[in-house]
Amino acid sequence: MKDRGYYKKFGGAYLPEILVATFDELVEIFQTAKNDPGFWEEYVEIMSTYSCRPTPITFAQNLTRHFGGARIYVKREDLNHTGAHKANNVIGQGLLVKRMGKTRVIAETGAGQHGVATATMAARFGFKCTIYMGEVDVQRQRPNVFWMERLGAEVITVTEGTRILKDAINESFRDWVTHMDTTHYVLGTACGPHPFPEMVSYFQSIIGQEARKQILEQAGGLPARVYACVGGGSNALGTFNAFLDDPVDLVGVEAGGEGLETGRHACRLSSKDSSIGVAQGYKTYFLQDNDGQMRETHSVAAGLDYVGVSPILAQYAETGRIRFEAATDQEVVDALSLTIQKEGLIPALESAHAFAQAFKEAPAMTPRDIILINQSGRGDKDIFTIADAFADPKWQAFIKEKAEGYHA
C-alpha cells in the first residue's frame, strides 16, 4: 500500500492508521472491477441509458469562421445528467459501492454540483446519503441545497473553521472514520489519497475514449490541440488520457482569477505561487505560502477554486507532456459571451476557461489544424455570477431580487 499510487514524486496515500484497511479494501475492489471486462460494460450501459452517453462532439462552425484559423470542435459533457462530467465519476463509484455491499455514501461539496450529482446517484442506487457543505457555501448555493434535500440527502452545514470546502472535506473524513463499515466517501475529483486519483480518472476516461473516435470519424484526423479546464483535474485527465500517446498538444487551463500578478487566482501548475506539499492525504502542488499555510484562492468559477491539484497532472506538468495555462476571469467571461452568441452553446464558467485559452491560440493556426475543447458542463447554474459579470443594471436588479428570494 505504502508505495502504491505514486506518480513520480506525487500522490501516495497519507492516511490515519484507522482508515488504512478501508483504503486497502477500496484498492482491491477497484483493481478487481478494472480487470473485469463486464464491469466497464455495465458502466457504459448505465451511462448510455441514464446519462446521454456517448455525448456528441459539435463542430463550432461559426467560431471557426470568426477566428479564421483552426477548425474548432467541442466535446459535449454538458449533456450529461445533472449537467456536467461529474456524473461519470459518481455513477462509477456507485457501482463500486454496490460491489462492496455498502449502503451509505457521503461527499463534500463546495459549489454544490458534486453534492447534487452524488445525491442523484444515491437516489438511483437506493443508498443513504449525507453531504457536507461549509456554511458559507450553503448560503451561496441555496438551489443546490434544495435539490440535494429533495433527492433524499441529508445536508450537514459545517460551521467549523472558515466554513468552506476544506472544512467540509475534514468533516467528511471524520464521518468516514466512524462509519467505515457501511459508508463510502465519494470523492469528487482526481485528487486525495490513492486510489482516488487513478479511480476517478479511470471513470472520466470515457470522455477521451469517445472523443478520439468521434474526431477521427467527424473531422478526419487527430486534433492538433486538446483543451480542458483544470480544477481538481478530473475532466482534463478524462479527456487527455486517450491522446497521451498521440502527437497531440494537451493544454490544461487553470483559473487565472484577477491575474497572476495579483495573487488572486487558483493556478497551481501555471504560476509560481505554489509548492510541493502533503495535505488532505496526498502529495502535490498546493497554493501555499513559505510556512505551508494554504493561500486563499480566487476564481469566477467555483469549481476551479481549489488549493491542490491532481498528482497525476502534477507529474505531467513536470515531464512537460501537458502544457498548463491560465485564463483570467475577464477572458473567461468574454469567451463565454462569444460562445453563447456565435454557437448557442452555454458552457459552465469552469469550461469557459478551456474555450478562452483555445480562442487565444486558434487564430494563429490553419484550417488544416483541428482543435478539440472539452465543454465539461453547462452554464445554467452560473446565472447569477454571469449576470453580475456582464454588469447589466436592468438584469442585475432582477437577478438580485431572485437571488435574495433563494436566500430568504
Q: Which residues bind ligand PLP (CB under 6 A)?
A: 84, 86, 113, 189, 229-236, 303-304, 348, 350-351, 376-377
Q: Which residue is nearest to ligand PLP (CB)?
A: 377
Output 190 or 370, the one with its CB closest to ligand PLP: 190
Output 64 or 172, the one with its CB closest to ligand PLP: 172
Q: Which amino acid, one-letter code, is at 364? A: A
How many CA atoms within 13 Å lie on the side-chain side of 195? 19
- Find where cell 478526419 sits: 220
Q: Min. distance of Cβ 310 from ligand PLP in angstroms?
A: 8
Which residue in 108, 171, 198, 210 is the catalytic one? 108
> How far is the CA of 392 from the CAs of 343, 357, 399, in angstroms?
22, 25, 10
Q: 3-state SS of the chain: helix, strand, coil percent to 5?
A: 50, 20, 30
**Could you confirm whether 86 is annotated as catalytic?**
yes
Residue 112, judged by CB atoms within 10 A of its CB (0-12, 13-18, 19+), counts as: buried
Q: Min. distance of Cβ 379 from ligand PLP in angstroms?
A: 8
Q: For residue 76, what are the contacts with CB-CB under 8 A and spacing of at least 6?
A: 55, 56, 57, 58, 375
Output 29 or 229, the one with its CB closest to ligand PLP: 229
Which residue in 198, 325, 376, 381 is the catalytic one? 376
Output 211 or 348, the one with its CB closest to ligand PLP: 348
Output the CA angle 393-145-131, nearest 5 degrees.
140
**Could you confirm whether 234 is annotated as catalytic?**
no
Task: Note whether 304 and 326 are within 8 A (CB).
Answer: no
Q: Min. distance of Cβ 257 from ligand PLP in angstroms?
A: 15
Residue 38: strand, helix, or coil: helix
Strands 249-257 and 128-134: unpaired
Q: Min. distance of Cβ 44 from ligand PLP in angstroms?
A: 20
**Could you confirm whether 2 is annotated as catalytic?**
no
Output 198 or 369, the one with its CB closest to ligand PLP: 198
What is the rounded distance in angstroms from the CA atom of residue 286 to the CA atom of residue 322? 18
Q: Min. distance of Cβ 348 from ligand PLP in angstroms?
A: 4
| Catalytic positions, written as ranges | 86, 108, 376
